[in-house]
Amino acid sequence: MSSSVTTLVTGGTGTLGQALLPRLQARGHDVRAASRSPPTDDEVTWSRMDLTTGDGLRAAVADVDVVVHTASSPLGDTEAVDVDGTNRLLDVAADAGVANVVYISIVGMEDIPYSYYEHKLAAERAVEESEVPSTVLRSTQFHQFVHEILETVGRLPVWPLPTRMQLQPVDVDVVADRLAEHATPEPSGRLDPIGGPEVRRLGELARAYREARGRWRPIVRLPIPGRTVGAFRDGKATCPEYATDSPTWEAWLDATYG
Ligand SMILES: NC(=O)c1ccc[n+]([C@@H]2O[C@H](COP(=O)([O-])OP(=O)(O)OC[C@H]3O[C@@H](n4cnc5c(N)ncnc54)[C@H](OP(=O)(O)O)[C@@H]3O)[C@@H](O)[C@H]2O)c1
């Protein structure tokens, strides 16, 4: 990797962004990162930008060769951030002559009726239809995502969960490795998706979490009607044919909780 590649990571403070920054540095990139609340104490050149308003966007993208776009707002205004914000970023990237916008997307989005996924799908299409060359990687859920759900439910005396949902949690480091490999001025187009080593039921993941946390609470199957959970139950969010030989959920729990 030539040391002259300047790479901007949007969402540099996020779970994936944090995993990407050291990998890009190790590959010799001149690394920049942006978010609404950037830290100051880092080797990375940080800038403040907001995708919903466009504030700081032009400055963040100036003189950049590659943009790895991980910023997203799953619990916020997903249309403003993920759709409008991505379009804003693409316009600025086109003006700046960016050589490759690398976009992280989600496995199975078109088969799962959920507004965040609809907006991610629109953003993914905008990236692929943009005049800016691009690379798109779809991933299954990160271990941290499953962990967040279980930490929330874990505060209750009884854990009501749609236990039959199928997930294929993946280590974020493995996703970051794949993205860093393709963060080059040569776009790769649509990559094969990436998934964790195993397709698992949420109930099994919850039992392993309960053991790791030593919290002996009953796990109760919550039958959630509707097409969204139904799609997860049917395995639409998984890609077993693209399973990676990467740390399992139990290995991640072990590394996190010892
Ligand atoms: N989590 C998963 O399981 C998973 C699975 C597959 C794909 N993905 C995709 O991977 C990407 C990263 O996910 P993640 O879990 O790392 O997300 P995350 O931890 O929630 O981080 C989101 C990042 O976006 C930034 N951001 C949010 N709103 C913004 C705005 N208006 N303007 C600028 N920056 C903004 C946040 O920083 P500030 O708050 O400082 O602005 C943060 O750095 C997302 O696109 C997601 O769809 C995630």
- Interval 201-240: pLDDT, tens: 999 999 999 999 998 999 999 999 999 999 999 999 999 9
Alpha-carbon gap, residue 156 to 151, rounded angstroms: 10
Which CA distances in Å does 6 have to 182, 183, 184, 219? 14, 10, 9, 48
Q: Whose CA is nearest to atom 20 of ligand 1?
A: 14
> Model-level pTM?
0.97
What is the C-alpha radius of gyration for the chain, rounded to an integer number of angstroms? 19
All residue ranges of the chain with pLDDT < 50 are 1-2
Query: Is any ligand 1 atom within 6 A of the Cβ of residue 81?
Result: yes
* Residue among 56, 77, 136, 71 nearest 101 (CA): 136
Alpha-carbon gap, residue 118 to 116, rounded angstroms: 5
What local confidence, expressed as pLDDT, does residue 43 receive?
81
* Angle, vertex CA 166, rays to CA 161 and CA 168, nearest 5: 120
- Rounded to the nearest angstrom, the distance between the alpha carbon of 16 and the centre of ligand 1 is 7
- Rounded to the nearest angstrom, the distance between the alpha carbon of 30 and the centre of ligand 1 is 21
- Rounded to the nearest angstrom, the distance between the alpha carbon of 117 and the centre of ligand 1 is 13
Q: Whose CA is nearest to atom 34 of ligand 1?
A: 35
Q: Where are the alpha helices (DSSP H) in the chain?
A: 15-26, 57-61, 78, 85-96, 115-129, 143-153, 172-182, 202-213, 227-233, 249-257
Query: Is any ligand 1 atom within 6 A of the Cβ of residue 78?
Result: no
Q: Spell out the domains of the chain, with CATH numbers in brackets.
A: 6-140+172-190 (3.40.50.720)
What dihedral do alpha carbons 18, 21, 23, 24 form, nearest 10°? Answer: 160
What local confidence, expressed as pLDDT, does residue 113 receive?
96
What local confidence, expressed as pLDDT, does residue 41 receive?
72
Q: Whose CA is nearest to atom 3 of ligand 1?
A: 141
Query: Is any ligand 1 atom within 6 A of the Cβ of residue 238?
Result: no
Atom number of ligand 1 nearest to Cα 141: 3
Q: Whose CA is nearest to atom 26 of ligand 1?
A: 71
Atom number of ligand 1 nearest to Cα 120: 47
Alpha-carbon gap, residue 13 to 137, rounded angstroms: 20
* DSSP secondary structure letter of residue 9: E
